Structure 1
Amino acid sequence: MDNSAGRRRAERRGRNAERIAALYLRLKGYRIITTRFRCHAGEIDIIAMRRDLAVFVEVKARADERVAIDAVTPSAMRRIRAASDVWLARQEDAHLLSQRYDIVACLPGRLPRHFIDAF
C-alpha cells in the first residue's frame, strides 16, 4: 500500500468519526454550529452549542479510549484554543458565551465516549 492510499483511508475514517460524533452530540442535546472550522490558527472538528455554552470538540477515531485522549497533544490543544479564539472573535454575542473543550473518542464497535472539559 502506498502512503497516499493510507492517507486517504485515514482521512475517510476521520470524516466518518466526525459524522458519528456530531450525531452523538445532537442526541445528547447539543446544537452543531459547524464542523471542520478552519482558520490560520488551526482547525476545530466540531463546534457545538448548548444554551450559552460553546463547546469546541476534538474527535479521535482510535481502537482504545486512552490512546484517543493521548492523541490530543499539548500542541494540538494550543491550536484548538487559538482557533476557538478566532471563532469567538467573529461572534457578536461572544461576551455572553461560556466555553469548554471536549474530546469525543470514536471506538470500533462501541458508542462514542464523550470526555467533557477534557482540556
Structure 2
Amino acid sequence: MDKALRGAKAHKRGHLAEYVALIHLMLKGYRILGFRLKMPQGEIDILAQKGTRLHLVEVKQRRSHEEAFETVSTIQQERLWQAGLALLEKKPRLRKLDLVIDLYTIAPGQWPRHQINAFEKIERF
C-alpha cells in the first residue's frame, strides 16, 4: 500500500476516533463547546466543559492506550496549553473555568479511555 493511501486511511480513522470521543463525552455529561478548533498554536480536537473545568481533549488512536499516551510529546502538550490560553484570551467568559488537558485514547479490541487532566496541570485564572 502506498504512503498516500495509508495516510488517507489514518486520517479517516482519526476522524472516526474523534466522533467516538465526542459522543462518549456527551453521554458522560460533558457540554461540547468546540470541535476541531484551529488555533495558531495547534488544533484542539474537542473543547468541553463539565462543572468548573474547561477540558481540551486530545484524541489519539493507536495499537494500545500506552502507545497513544506516548505519542503526545511535551512539545505537543505545550502547544495545547498555549492554544488553551489563547482561547481564554479570546473568550473571557471561559476564564472562570479551570483549564485542563485530557487524553482520549482508542485501541483496537479495548474500551476507549478518557484520562482527565492527563498531564497533571491545572491553569486557574
Task: State the shift of 1:24 in Å.
Answer: 0.8
1:58-109 Cα offsets, whole Å, 9 max, x none, are 1000121111111111111011111111111111313311111110001223
1:27 alignment counterpart? 27
- Quote the Cα distance in structure 2 between the aligned partners of 1:57 and 1:70: 15
Q: How high is the TM-score relative to the length of structure 2?
A: 0.89
1:12-67 Cα offsets, whole Å, 9 max, x none, are 01000000011111111101111111111111111001133110011000121111
2:53 alignment counterpart? 53
Is the deviation greater in 108-117 or in 67-76?
A: 108-117
Report the number of matched residues: 119
Is the deviation greater in 51-60 or in 89-98?
A: 89-98
Runs of 4+ in 1 over 2 A off after TM superposition: none
Q: List gaps (5 residues or longer) in structure 2.
A: 120-125
Q: How high is the TM-score relative to the length of structure 1?
A: 0.93
Q: Is the 8 A contact 2:61 2:106 kept in 1?
A: yes
1:40 alignment counterpart? 40
- Quote the Cα distance in structure 2 between the aligned partners of 1:9 and 1:95: 38
Q: List gaps (5 residues or longer) in structure 1.
A: none
1:8 alignment counterpart? 8
Considering Cα pairs closer than 8 Å and 6+ residues apart, tell me whether 1 or 2 has the greater RCO.
1
